[in-house]
Every structure is written in structure tokens, then in C-alpha cells.
Amino acid sequence: MGRYRILEHTADMGIEATGETLEELLIQAARGLMAIISGAEALPREERSVEITAGESGELLVNWLNEILFLFDSGGFFPAEFIIEEATENRIKALVGGELFDPERHPVDREIKAATYHQLKIERGEEGWKARVYLDL
């Protein structure tokens, strides 16, 4: 079973995520992102379809997290559930479940500008996938 851990950094925060599969790693990274933004619970009342392509797995992870940020910041949507329909090291097809953002119910703990390439690391090992990504606050 995958997990995520929040990493402290001088001006940023990071996520260290693991998963037995790439899909699980991407889900855990997304959960870590939302935990940094807000500890609030949300219901998957609506879904947004997401398709992302990239040249390699690190770029894919950064693009995935930035797409979730875009849904939150620009779409007024609070992501709560992540369903990866297809994932390769170059492509993600997913459904993001959530609900309309309500500042009363979803207080924002930290504002995140973007996922970055700073100290980005993603690798596949014997026990599955592991990644580290830092966020610009």
C-alpha cells in the first residue's frame, strides 16, 4: 500500500510518495498535495477528466500535480479522489473527483504556486515506485 510524507524545506514544502505501481504513486502524491493545501475533507460529487503527457516520468509527476493545482486555483474545484485509468511514464489518463470549493468548508492552510523540478526524484525499485517533489509556496 502506498503512502505519502510531507517534507520540510527552507522556502518550500515537499512530498515523498511511494506506491507499488505508478498509478498508486501518482494518487499518493496528489493526496499529499491536497493535504498541504487543506486538511479539509471533501466529497467526490463531481468528476473532472484529466489527460497529461510528458517526455519522462519526472515531468509527468510535475505536470500531474500542476494540473490538480489548476483545477483548484482556476476551476474553483476541490479535488478529493483520484482515479488513474491509465498511466505510463509518459501519459496519465485520470478522473479527479471532488466538489466545488467552499472556503467555509475547505479552509486553505497553505497556498501553493506550483510543483517544481527542484530536487525532483522518481524511481522504480524492487518494492515499487518512490518519488520526491517540492512545491513552491
Cα dihedral across residues 27, 32, 37, 41: positive or negative: positive
Q: Are 88 and 57 in contact (CB under 8 A)?
A: no
**For the chain, how many structural domains are there in total?**
1
What confidence tens digit (pLDDT) does each residue in 110-131 have? 999 999 999 999 999 999 999 9
pTM listed for this prediction: 0.90
Angle at 3 between CA 123 and CA 60, to 5 degrees: 40
pLDDT at 12: 83
75-87, pLDDT tens digit by residue? 799 999 999 999 9
For residue 125, give the CATH number of its domain.
Answer: 3.55.10.10
Confidence at 10, pLDDT banded by 50, 70, 90:
low
Task: Find the domain containing 12 and state its range.
Answer: 3-136
Is residue 33 within 8 A of residue 68, CB to CB? The reply is yes
